[in-house]
Amino acid sequence: MVHRTVNQWYKFCETLVHHKTKIRLRHNEIINSIDESFLDITTYMNLYNATPKQLAKMILDEIYDQTGITATVGIGTNLFLAKVALDITAKHAKDCMGYLDEDLFKQLIWHHQPITDIWMIGPGTANRLAMLGIKDLYGVAHYNEKILYKLFGINAEYLIDHAWGKEPTEISDIKAYRPSSNSISNSQILFEDYNYKDAYLIMKEMVESNILQLTEKHLVTNHISLYVGYSKNCIKPSRGSRKITNTTNSYRILLEEFKLLYKKIINPNYPIRQIGISFGNVKDEIYEQFDLFADQEDIKKEKRVQEALVHIRNKYGKNAVLKGMNFYEKATQRKRNGLVGGHNA
C-alpha cells in the first residue's frame, strides 16, 4: 500500500524550486507546487529548541525578511493534515498558521463544506459522492466501505484514509521512492494558431528548455516523444516517438532527432495550437553513450556551454541569457520564463 501511495505523492510532490533560507531543512523537504513546500521538522525541534509553531514562525519571518511576502503555514501530524491545515484553517488565523491532529481534524474538518476544498477531491469525485448523499468527510468516514471501493476502485483507499485524517506515507518514503521509468516532459497551449514553420520554432525552444533540465540534473536520454494538437480539433492530434542511437543530453543531437520526428508526423496544412515534448528513459549521465558518427569533442564543448547557461540562469534568472530564436515575434519562451506556476510573476 505504501508504494502505491508513494507513487501518487511522488507525482504531486516532485521538487520544482529551491528556496535559500537561513533555516536549513533541505534533506527533509519536498516541494508540492511552485509556492508550497512540505517540511518534516521532527528532528529540527530539538536543534532549534522550538515547538512546531515557534519553528514555523522562524521560517515565516525569514521569508518575509528576504522577500517581503507574508506566507502561511499548515502544521499537521502527517502530510495530509498539514496540507488541509494550510488550505483551510491557516487562511483564517491571525498568525497565518493552522494546526491539525486527528482529533482536531474531526472537530474542525469533518463537516466542512464544500468538500472540494479538501486536497485531492475534485468536482468529479464530489459529484459521485453526492450521488451517495455524501457532502462532507464525515459522510465518507461513516459510509459503507464496500460501496466506496465499488464506485472509486483503489482510489477509495486514499479517500477513506483521508476522511479519518490518516496518511501513512512520510516524506522519507517519497524521497526514497524511485519510479521504474523516468521522463522529463513539457507542453504548452499556444497563445494563438501557429503555422507549421512557427510551431517548429516553439518546439525548438521547448527542446532547449528540457535539455537544460537534463544538464542541470546530470541526466541523459535515448528516447523522445512529440505531440501536436491542431486548432479547434480540426483533425486528430499527431503523435510520435522514437528511440535514438545516442544516450545524451546534447542539444544539437536531440534537436536534430526532434526535427526528423516533426517532419515525419506533422500535417503542415492545418493550424497548430498545442505542442508537447518528452524525453523518455532518462538516466544518470554515467550512462551517456554515443554511436560511431558522434563527434565527442564537439559534444564536450557543447556540454560546457549548456552547464554555463544553467549556472547563469540559476543565478540571474531564466531570461539572463537568451538565443536569437527567443526574440522572433512568434517565440514564447521569454514570456513563459516570466510566469510563476502558469501566472504572471
CA neighbor of 222 nearest in space, from 279, 299, 302: 279
Cis peptide before 52 (omega within 30 of 0): no
User: Does the predicted TM-score (pTM) go above 0.75?
Assistant: no
pLDDT at 36: 79
User: Residues 6 or more apart from 154 whose CB is under 8 A from it?
Assistant: 4
Which of helix, strand or coil describes residue 163? Answer: helix
What confidence tier does 41 reach under pLDDT thresholds 50, 70, 90? confident
Secondary structure element (H or E) that encloses residue 264, with its range: helix 251-265
Helices (H), 14-101: 44-48, 52-67, 79-84
pLDDT at 32: 52
Residue 342 grid coordinates: 502558469
Mean pLDDT of 146-174: 88
Alpha carbon distance, N-terminus to C-terminus of the chain: 39
Which domains, and CATH codes, for the chain? 2-173 (1.10.150.20), 183-344 (3.30.1490.100)
Task: Show the CA angle centred on residue 91, arms to residues 87 and 94, nearest 5°.
Answer: 150
Residue 92, pLDDT > 90, answer no
DSSP β-bridge partners for residue 276: 187, 227
Mean of the per-residue pLDDT values of the chain: 84
What's the burial of 211, exposed, middle or buried (CB within 10 Å: 0-12/13-18/19+)?
A: buried
Q: Tens digit of pLDDT for each residue in 49-86? A: 999 999 999 989 988 898 888 889 999 999 999 999 99
What confidence tier does 12 reach under pLDDT thresholds 50, 70, 90? very low
DSSP class per residue in 281-325: S-EEGGG-B--TT--HHHHHHHHHHHHHHHHHHHHH-TTSS--GG
Out of 3-12, 35-44, 241-250, least confident range: 3-12
pLDDT at 43: 84
Check if the beta carbon of residue 246 is closer than 8 Å to that of residue 257: no
What does DSSP assign to residue 86? I
Q: What b/e string do you get for 176-205 counting C-beta neighbours within 10 Å, with b at 16 or more?
A: ebeeeeeebebebebeeebebebbbbbbbb
Distances (CA, A) of 94 to 68, 77, 123, 290: 18, 21, 30, 59
What confidence tier does 44 reach under pLDDT thresholds 50, 70, 90? confident
